[in-house]
Amino acid sequence: MEKGDNMSGFGSMLNDYLEYHKISQTEFADRLGISQKHMNEIINDKTNLSVDLIIAISLLTNIDVNLIYYVENKKKIYNELISKYGSEKDINKMLDSYCLKEMEEKGWIRLKDKKSFTQKYMDLIEFLNVKDISTFDSYLDKRFLFKKKDNSNNIKIYLWINHCDKMINDIDIGEYDSNRLSELLLELKDERMKKYNEENLIKLFHKYGIILYIEDALKGSKVRGCSRVKINTPVIYLTRYLKEKSSLYFTLYHELMHIKKDYNMLKNKTIVDEDEKEIDELALNEMIPKDIYNELLLNVSDRERIDKENKIPLSFLYTRMAMEGKIKYSSSEYLSHREIV
């Protein structure tokens, strides 16, 4: 018997029911139309209940069909876990790799019984929306495009994406029209000049039929953002990983460029951000067009005017210059114009 789980199937509960109502096992077997031997096996959890029997027992006793199914399923999962992982310690080790504790602290998952590894596993697969853990890897391969093959980080990223998916379920926005993307980019120029306001940024995207959701990822996860298309609605998820407005906008433009360029591919695969030169260049160009950037580099004294005219926050300019090694991250230009989100 495992330490955390005292596992029996529905047999024990059925026995409690029969004893309370003073119904003999023989009589109940007759009502169900099964043999006394079969009834005995059910009571002693020596057999699994068929769906027909689950329904029939529920009808005869008025016990919630879900309760019977749940108890039987829990027993089945318990046996599968023990046969696959061997010990409670190894099962808990596997469960730990899915950051259950941190997810619970963040309120992403409700663990119904923290002491039971079987229940924790059931809560996890319910959260993951997969049939079981063995189907999870192939699902990740088919539906997600991770640029780095770091399995533990990719699991953390998936958990974050999955949480974001759940959070956007009730968001109702208008239809996305790719022809209006240039309008969004224009309005985004006005927004980026203002003090960073997450709510306004999200509203702006929703106005153009794109769901934007910002949520910090799990500890140690290096994700900045990802994009996908759900049915016909583009979705962008961002983290505040780099804490700076210029970095957050860079990721935002990066994902927006994916939506512009890879809309159809995003219907089948979620792209998780990593170094992608082409998309990065498009994003940088949206933040500061190449010709203006060159002009800004040359006209040091006129920078503020050029920036204002082209609606480019100075923090964007100095972050880019620091990134390209043109100034140091410790320089006064960079430090005095930093905007933290």
Partner 1 sequence: MKLDNNLVITIKILSIDRIFIVYYNLLGYNIHRKETSMIITETKKYNKSLKKILKNRTKELERLENIKNLIINSDNLHSLLLSEYKNIYRIEKKKGDLKEFYTARLNEKIRLIMRPVGDYPYVEIEIDEIIFEDIDDKHYGEG
By C-beta, is 62 or 179 nearer to partner 1?
Answer: 62
Least separation, in Å, of the C-beta of 96 and partner 1?
A: 19
Judged by CB under 8 A, the chain residues 97 through 116 that form the site for partner 1 are 110-116
The DSSP code for 271 is E
Q: Among 2, 4, 13, 187, which residue interacts with partner 1 (rule: CB under 8 A)? A: 13
Question: Does 69 interact with partner 1 (rule: CB under 8 A)?
Answer: yes
Question: Does 33 interact with partner 1 (rule: CB under 8 A)?
Answer: yes
Least separation, in Å, of the C-beta of 6 and partner 1?
A: 5
Q: Among 30, 64, 183, 302, which residue interacts with partner 1 (rule: CB under 8 A)? A: 64
Q: By the 8 A CB rule, do 221 and 155 touch?
A: no
Question: Does 138 interact with partner 1 (rule: CB under 8 A)?
Answer: no
Question: Does 162 interact with partner 1 (rule: CB under 8 A)?
Answer: no
Is 236 in a helix, a strand, or coil? Answer: strand
Phi and psi based region of residue 137 (left: phi greater than 0; alpha: psi -120 to 50; beta: remaining) = alpha
Q: What phi, psi does 270 have (nearest 5°)?
A: -95, 130
Q: Which residues pair with 235 in a beta bridge?
A: 211, 228
Within 13 Å of residue 126, how many CA atoms lie on the same side as its CB? Answer: 12
Q: By the 8 A CB rule, do 10 and 55 touch?
A: no
DSSP H or E run through 233? strand 233-238
By C-beta, is 7 or 323 nearer to partner 1?
Answer: 7
Least separation, in Å, of the C-beta of 5 and partner 1?
A: 8
Q: By the 8 A CB rule, do 116 and 4 touch?
A: yes
Which residues are near partner 1 by CB under 8 A?
5-8, 12-13, 16-17, 20, 32-34, 50-56, 59, 61-67, 69-71, 73-74, 110-116, 119, 125-126, 129-132
